[in-house]
Amino acid sequence: MKKIITDKAPAAIGPYSQAVIANGILYTSGQIALNPATGEIVGTTIEEQTTQVMKNLGAILNAAGVDYENTIKTTCFLANMEDFTTFNGIYEKYFTGKPARSCVAVKQLPKNVLCEVEVIAVVD
Question: For 18-70, how does the pLDDT look when each residue is reduced to its tens digit (9 = 90+)?
Answer: 999 999 999 999 999 999 999 999 999 999 999 999 999 999 999 999 999 99
- If one counts every other C-beta atom within 10 angstroms of the C-beta of residue 39, the result is 11
> Is residue 124 over pLDDT 90?
no
> Is residue 13 over pLDDT 90?
no
> Active-site residue among 25, 103, 120, 123?
103
Return the domain boundaries, the chain.
Answer: 2-122
pTM (predicted TM-score) = 0.97
First to last CA, the chain: 15
pLDDT by residue (tens digit) across 83-104? 999 999 999 999 999 999 999 9
Instruction: Give the pLDDT score at 94.
Output: 98
3-state SS assignment for residue 30: coil
pLDDT level of residue 14 (50, 70, 90 thresholds) = confident
Instruction: Give the pLDDT score at 18.
Output: 98
CATH code for the domain defined by 2-122: 3.30.1330.40
Give dist(CA 26, CA 99) in Å, integer: 14
Please say whether the beta carbons of 24 and 1 come within 8 A: no
- Catalytic, 103? Answer yes
Phi, psi of 102 (to 5 degrees): -120, 145
